[in-house]
Every structure is written in C-alpha cells, then in structure tokens.
Amino acid sequence: MPLLKDGRLVEDKWQRLEEHEVVPTEGAVIIDLERWQVERENLKGRAAPLGLLLMPGQSPEEIADDLSQFDLIALAFPAFKDGRAYSYARILRERLGFTGELRAVGEVLQDQLFFMARVGFDAFEVNERTSEGDFAAEMAKFPAVYQPSSCGENTVFARRHGARLVEAAE
Amino acid sequence: MYRYDEFDQSLVDARVTEFRGQVARRLAGDITEDEFKPLRLMNGLYLQLHAYMLRVAIPYGTFNSRQMHMLAEIARKYDKGYGHFTTRQNIQYNWLKLDDVPDLLADLASVEMHAIQTSGNCIRNTTSDQYAGAAADEIEDPRPTCEIIRQWSTFHPEFSFLPRKFKIAVTGAPKDRAAVQIHDIGIQIVENNKGEVGYSIFVGGGLGRTPMVGKHIRAFLPRQDLLAYLEAIMRVYNMLGRRDNIYKARIKILVHEASAAEFTRLVEEEFEKIDQTKLMALPEEELDRIAAYFAAPEFETLGPCPAEHLEALDRDRDFALWVKANVVPHKVPGYAIANISLKPIGGVPGDITSDQMDGVAELAKDYSFDEIRATHEQNLVLPHVRERDLYAIWQRLKALELATANIGLVSDIIACPGLDYCNLANARSIPVAQLISERFAELDRQHDIGELKIKISGCINACGHHHVGHIGILGVDRKGEEYYQITLGGSADENTRLGDITGPSFPYDKVVDAVETLVTTYVDLRQSGETFLQTYARVGLAPFKENLYAAA
Ligand code: HEM
Ligand code: SF4
C-alpha cells in the first residue's frame, strides 16, 4: 500500500504485526488492541516506536490513559461506508490531544481524503491510483469550511465575522 | 430569504466542479459504477429503472420566483417538462442523462440551489413548517435555525458516512406542521418560563418497516448550544448506530435498543465534553446575521377584510370553496396564506409542469413578496398575499389548472411513486390515489367530510408516510397480487401517533370501497364539529372494523 504522509508519497517505516508474530525489540511496529491488552506490561516503555491499530467499535477513549505509549494510531476503514473512525479521529485530536501520526488504513478512497484530513488524519494508506497531485487537488477542492474540526482551519463563521471586524476597524 | 454570501456560493460552485470531474472520470471509465455510486449519491443522483433521477433540495421549503423559473427551465431542458415535489421539501427529476447532470447542477448553483446531501448516509435537507414567518401561532421563525443547521451539516467531515441517512426537521410553532416527531431529530422552538427562546429536542422518530415516534430527550436547550448538542447526538449515533443490518441502522433503532434514558445519558455526557471547548457555541453575531435575512417583508397596514373580497366570496361559490379549503389566516391583518394544491382530481400527487412552475413563480412575484414554499404534503404555498388579491390569484391559478380546492381534505392525498416507478414496490400507489380522489371528487361532499389525511405507500419503506395517515394505505404482496393494508388514526402533528391496523388487507379493486366505508362510518358516527380523527379517538377501531369486514 502506498503511503501518503503530509501530502508526499513516502516509504513506510512501520511494520504491521500479524497475530502470530512476536514484537521485535527493534523497529517501528503497529500492533492491534487485543495484543496491547494482553502484552501491555511488557510493551510499556518499549524503546522503539510503537503504533496501535484501532478497528471500528474500538473507541480511543478506551485507551485514553495509555495514549502516551503510542507514536502512531492507525484507524481502520474496513469499508469506506463505515464512518466510525471519523469520530475517533476527532476524539483523539481534539479531546485526547494526540499529536502523533494518525493514519487512515483500509478502504481509503480519493474522494474521502479531504474529510479525513479535516478530522485530523495526516497519513493515508491509499490505493495505487492516488498520486500526490490527486491528494493536493483533493485538499484544495473546497475553498472554505463551515464547521470547526481538528484541522484548525478558519471556518466560514469565523471568516465572516473576522471580515466584518476588519471592516468596522477601517 | 437567505442569500448566499461569497463563501456559500464558492462552496456550491466547488461542488459542481468536483462532480463534473467525478462524472468525467466515470464516463472515461477511470472509476467503476460501484466507486461512482457513493459519489453521485452525495449529490442526490439515483440510478432508477429507466434513467437517472435527481433530487434537488429546497432548504426548509423556502424559495423565490427566480429559483422556481430555473426549476421550470431545468425540467424543460433536461427532463420531460415536469418535476415532482416530494414529502421532504425536495423536487425530483425522473428522466435525466448522466452527462447533462453537471450542467444542470451549474444551472442550479446560478440561482443558489443545489442537490448536496439529498441522498446518501449523511444529514439530509433540513425541513420545516411551510407557514414559517407567516403563521399566527409561531413563537419564532424556524428558518434561521434551519439555515444554521444547513450550513453546519454541509460537507460535515465527521458525519458524511453515518450508519444510515439522517433527517432533521424544525418547527417554530406549537402546532406542528413539520412532522418533527417522525424525524431522526425533531426540533421544536419553545419559550421557557424566563421568556428565553430555545429548543425542545426529539430523537429517534421515523417510519419505514419499524415505525417509531421520536423520544423527547431535552425539554429546553439554550439557543447557543444547538450545534454542540447536535454534534453530541450525531457522534453517539455515528459511533454506536448499527452497521450490521441496513434495516436496523437508523437512529430510532439505537434509541430503542439502548432505551431512551440511556441514549439521553450518552448524549448529555458527550455534549458536556464537547461543550467544554466552547468550539461549537453559536456566536451571537452569526445568529443575528442569518436572522436578518428572514426579517419580515414590508407588510402594509391594511384594514379589515376588504369589501371586494367579501363580495367575490358571495358571488363566486367556487372561489369561496377554494378560500375555505386552501386559505389560512396570516399573522398580519389583511394578509393571508394561500395554499396551491398539487393534487388535482385524478392527477399524480406532487407533479407539476414547467409552465405551471413559471405561473406560480409569476404569482409569487406579483403577490407574495417573491416567496414560495414547498410543503411536506407535496403542495405549494404563497405565504404572504393580501386578502384583497385572493380573487385575482385564484383566477390565475384556475387558468394554470392549479386551483384545486382540497387542502387537508380527502383528495389531498400523499402517495409514493409505487409500482409505476419504483423497483421496491409491492403495489401501485398513484392509481389508488387517483381512484380515491375521483370517487370523492365532489367538493361539497369533501367539505362535508372535512379534514381527512390519506397517505399511501407502495411498500413497507413508507415513503408515503402511511403510518401517520388518518387513513393509511400500505401496498403488500399476497401471492403476487397487489393487496392493501389499512391503518386508522395515525397523525404526524404535535400529537403524533401511529395508525392501528384494521385487519386483513384488501385487493386493488376493493380498496376504494373500503375507504368509502370508513368515510361513511365516520359521517354516521360523528358528533357535531368532530373531525375524522376526533371521532376515531372517541369511538376507537371497533365500529370501523365491523363495517369494513361486515360484507366478508
Ligand atoms: C422511486 C424511487 C424511490 C425509492 C427506491 C425509495 C426508497 C426508499 C427507501 C428504501 C426508504 C427507506 C429508508 C430507511 O427507512 O432507512 C425510503 C424512505 C423514504 N422515502 Fe423513498 N423512495 C423513492 C421515492 C420517494 C419519493 C418520491 C418520496 C416522496 C414523495 C419518498 C419519500 C421518502 C421518505 C419521506 C422516506 C422516509 C420514511 C421514514 O421516515 O423512514 N421516497 N425510500
Ligand atoms: S414506499 Fe416503497 S414503493 Fe413507495 S417509493 Fe418508497 S420504496 Fe418505492
């Protein structure tokens, strides 16, 4: 899977561990929630980077206290229609203050990248057809946004009244 | 009326450009139909049996003559010269070609209209009271609240892939003309004992195969908390709503399975967390800015009912009957609300030709401060007309064949497309509506019967709202034959109630007789001044049932 990170196609340094694989001492690995729950004591304070994969139904609020253990959280879209991870992303960014890499994995379609970026994803495992140019075009497709969200972009509400304040000052 | 500013316009324009690109990718074969489907559904475009169908939003049912002329023009240019008003303040075009749709959307955008989020599992067009800003019983015009919801829900990054579609309705009056209790979220504007205006919230109403009346989860929500509270409801639903079974995916099932009390607790808890950031608090300036667009038009100070109007009522019985059925008091003396029925006897409920659309647009411009409304009962409204102009309006409506005098009467029927158009149907709906209206064509009889709402769906999806019809008719399949189940006593107003099933269903050729039996039973049993629904509430199902099945 090609990886888009901050708008660039980059090499993926992370290894997703399968169920039967043991966690190596070296290297950046992504584990699932079941493994974290079982091996938590051993993995806590792992020197090499640790990432966590959450599936729909596994809300990040369940691991809120452990969040500092992870450099990366991957949120799964088993099907593009399953939109639970959009809520998880905002909770991670806005409520739990997660600042590490937030990665979208699974069925990640080009036309969804804009919404994903807005809720706080900064890395995307995309299909072979999605280019850096496509990504840039998606990010630019709407000139304004109505709702406050994790991306911190100025909303239409703010811009309207920001603009009005400037007018008043002149 | 709301007018787009540069931001609103730029977003709608950007959507047209985006969709043009998506259509080009589809036509070039760069994406498959499966990949294209969710993209077109985000733009209200369905693939039906014979052609593409586009659903255009009329946000909270308010539009003007320029927009109506454009809807007429679109029907001429890209369709067969007519459109269909639905039960959700939308208009649908049934015969489109895919490669025309981007141009059609650009035409819509040029008059500040769109088809954004009229389908798909997202927050749909917010609906409201068709008499907003004109009704005498209103606490506050609901449209500024609706417009805020429209903007907030447009391209919402978190709530565009919900378990299922999501519908919000707002009413500003205690008399509920927006059917808020059968919506996923129903919002009623209320005043508390300190004289502050806020919101009362219902969640989990809906029809379909598991009909449910919304649960009341908040008695008073301060105005500035509206969006924070809506985000809380949406987030709880997005995270916990069922995705394993499409028939159990609506929020009503979550509310039901979790219990209203537990659901409310989850929402309040989430609301408190969201509210801590104050990110969603509605800024006063923005509320004021939007409310200013809905300021009342400059009504004249008019005296009591002008003599020429009274004379016309005396002189012309047809006019008097139209006024009796279709005209409703306005909050300003000397003005009236004029309903335009899209239910001609023997016609297709909700259909309107391009020429008729143009005619209505001109009437709005000449007589109604350029405003038109679409109703959830598939009719239109001129919300602010002078009483003294009613006669002239009626004459012009007559020339347009739009002067049917039956609002709220037995022939003002809601019907879904049914077997004539819909591939999910068990039975025809439109012909049943046509036969019933023909049976009761005589206006004096209709007026004698009084208020009676018949609603017909061709299958359990309940697009025709049969569960909340005073008489509800549902098409069912019995060994490949069209049969119709009848329910009684449903209602979608402030006393929302689901109808009671009478018993075994009726074949196609017996259903009109069955309706007639129900009507005569009511007429025999009613006490003076009682409506059908009041009589039903008093006497119950038994006498109706007895007469219905007596012959069998
Ligand atoms: C012929 C094309 C149509 C098809 C295939 C269709 C299909 C459906 C389906 C499957 C549902 C159930 C969705 C659910 O409960 O989650 C539904 C609901 C609904 N439809 Fe349609 N429909 C069609 C036309 C219409 C039209 C023309 C109207 C308006 C007159 C309409 C109004 C509604 C409404 C109001 C609901 C919501 C009922 C509720 O609250 O659950 N539909 N439709
Ligand atoms: S109620 Fe059934 S038959 Fe009627 S339009 Fe909806 S899906 Fe089709």
**Structural domain count of chain A:** 2
Closest ligand 1 atom to residue B414 Cα is 30
CATH number at residue B453: 3.30.413.10
What pTM did the predictor assign? 0.94
Q: What ipTM goes with this model? A: 0.94
- State the pLDDT confidence band at B144, using cuts at 50, 70 and 90: very high
For residue B71, the model assigns a pLDDT of 98
CA angle, B136 as apex, B132 and B142 as ends, to 5°?
25
**Would you say residue B369 lies in a domain?**
no
- Kindly state whether residues A13 and A41 are assigned to the same domain: yes
- Kindly state whether residues B105 and B145 are assigned to the same domain: no
- Kindly state whether residues B189 and B151 are assigned to the same domain: yes
Q: How far is the CA of B326 from the centre of ligand 2 (A)?
A: 28
CA distances from B65 to B28, B107, B147, B367 (A): 38, 15, 19, 11
- Kindly state whether residues A168 and A115 are assigned to the same domain: no
Alpha helices in chain A (DSSP H): 33-43, 84-90, 113-119, 132-139, 156-169
pLDDT surpasses 90 at B13: yes
Provide, rounded to the nearest whole percent, the portion of chain B with pLDDT above 90. Answer: 91
- State the pLDDT confidence band at B551, using cuts at 50, 70 and 90: low
Mutate which of B185, B461, B466, B474 for ligand 1 pocket (most atoms within 8 A of beta carbon): B461
Residue B344 tokens read as 């001609």
- State the pLDDT confidence band at B239, using cuts at 50, 70 and 90: very high
**Would you say residue B334 lies in a domain?**
no
B286 or B539: which carries more pLDDT confidence? B539
A160 or B189: which carries more pLDDT confidence? B189
Element (H, E) at B545: helix B542-550
For residue B78, the model assigns a pLDDT of 97
CA dist B131 and B314 (Å) reads 27
Residue B294 tokens read as 């809905």
What is the distance in angstroms between the Cα of A8 and the nearest Cα belonging to chain B? Answer: 22
Closest ligand 1 atom to residue B350 Cα is 30
CA dist B5 and A70 (Å) reads 44
- Kindly state whether residues A157 and A132 are assigned to the same domain: no
CA dist B247 and B245 (Å) reads 5
Q: Which ligand is nearest to the CA of B429?
A: 2
- Kindly state whether residues A71 and A128 are assigned to the same domain: yes
- Kindly state whether residues B144 and B210 are assigned to the same domain: yes
- Kindly state whether residues A34 and A20 are assigned to the same domain: yes
- Kindly state whether residues B65 and B167 are assigned to the same domain: no
Cβ atoms of B415 and B433 within 8 Å: the answer is yes
Ligand 1 pocket, Cβ-based, cut-off 6 angstroms? B 86-88, 92, 164-165, 182, 206-208, 250, 416-417, 421-422, 424, 461-463
Of all protein residues, the one whose alpha carbon is nearest to atom 2 of ligand 2 is B459
For residue B280, the model assigns a pLDDT of 86
- Kindly state whether residues B84 and B144 are assigned to the same domain: no
pLDDT surpasses 80 at B86: yes
For residue B405, the model assigns a pLDDT of 97
- Kindly state whether residues B104 and B222 are assigned to the same domain: no
B35 or B448: which carries more pLDDT confidence? B448
**Would you say residue B101 lies in a domain?**
yes
- Kindly state whether residues A157 and A105 are assigned to the same domain: no
By the CB < 8 Å criterion, does B5 face chain A?
yes
Q: B280 vs A143: CB contact, 8 Å cut-off?
A: no
Q: B243 vs A141: CB contact, 8 Å cut-off?
A: no
Element (H, E) at B47: strand B45-47
**Closest Cα to residue B331, out of B177, B133, B191?**
B133
- Kindly state whether residues B267 and B152 are assigned to the same domain: yes
**Would you say residue B16 lies in a domain?**
yes
By the CB < 8 Å criterion, does A109 face chain B?
yes
CA dist B452 and B413 (Å) reads 9
Determine the structural domain holding residue A168 and report its residue range: 145-170
- Kindly state whether residues A134 and A154 are assigned to the same domain: no
Mutate which of B352, B416, B426, B430 for ligand 1 pocket (most atoms within 8 A of beta carbon): B416
- Kindly state whether residues A92 and A164 are assigned to the same domain: no
Provide, rounded to the nearest whole percent, the portion of chain B with pLDDT above 70. Answer: 100
Beta carbons within 8 Å of B64's beta carbon, 6+ residues apart: B1, B364, B370, B371, B372
CA distances from B362 to A126, B366, B367, B465 (A): 52, 6, 8, 32
Determine the structural domain holding residue B209 and report its residue range: 137-291
Query: Are β-strands B197-203 and B185-191 bridged in parallel, bridged antiparallel, or unpaired?
Result: antiparallel
- Kindly state whether residues B510 and B421 are assigned to the same domain: yes
pLDDT tens digit sequence for B356-412: 999 999 999 999 999 999 999 999 999 999 999 999 999 999 999 999 999 999 999
CA dist B499 and B536 (Å) reads 11
Per-residue pLDDT of chain A (170 residues; tens, 9 = 90+): 899 999 999 999 999 998 889 999 999 999 999 999 999 999 998 999 999 999 999 999 999 999 999 999 999 999 999 999 999 999 999 999 999 999 999 999 999 999 999 999 999 999 998 999 999 999 998 989 998 888 877 888 888 887 554 443 33
By the CB < 8 Å criterion, does B151 face chain A?
yes
- State the pLDDT confidence band at B227, using cuts at 50, 70 and 90: very high
- Kindly state whether residues B19 and B95 are assigned to the same domain: yes
The nearest alpha carbon in chain B to A115 belongs to B157
- Kindly state whether residues A134 and A153 are assigned to the same domain: no
Q: B157 vs A147: CB contact, 8 Å cut-off?
A: yes
- Kindly state whether residues B47 and B164 are assigned to the same domain: no
- For B411-428, the DSSP string reads T--EE--GGGT-TT-SS-
- State the pLDDT confidence band at B439, using cuts at 50, 70 and 90: very high
Q: What is the mean pLDDT of residues B331-338?
A: 96
pLDDT tens digit sequence for B297-332: 999 999 878 888 999 999 999 999 999 999 999 999
Which residues in chain B have Cβ-Cβ distances shorter than 8 Å to A160?
A: 5, 7, 286, 289
**Structural domain count of chain B:** 3
**Would you say residue B145 lies in a domain?**
yes
- Kindly state whether residues A101 and A44 are assigned to the same domain: yes
- Kindly state whether residues A18 and A64 are assigned to the same domain: yes
- Boundary (domain end) residue, out of B91, B109, B127: B109
- Kindly state whether residues B251 and B156 are assigned to the same domain: yes
Of all protein residues, the one whose alpha carbon is nearest to atom 6 of ligand 2 is B463
Residue B145 tokens read as 């609240």
Residue B471 tokens read as 């008489």
- Boundary (domain end) residue, out of B263, B291, B319: B291
For residue B306, the model assigns a pLDDT of 85
For residue B203, the model assigns a pLDDT of 98
By the CB < 8 Å criterion, does A114 face chain B?
yes
- Boundary (domain end) residue, out of B291, B307, B331: B291
- Kindly state whether residues B446 and B532 are assigned to the same domain: yes
- Kindly state whether residues A112 and A160 are assigned to the same domain: no
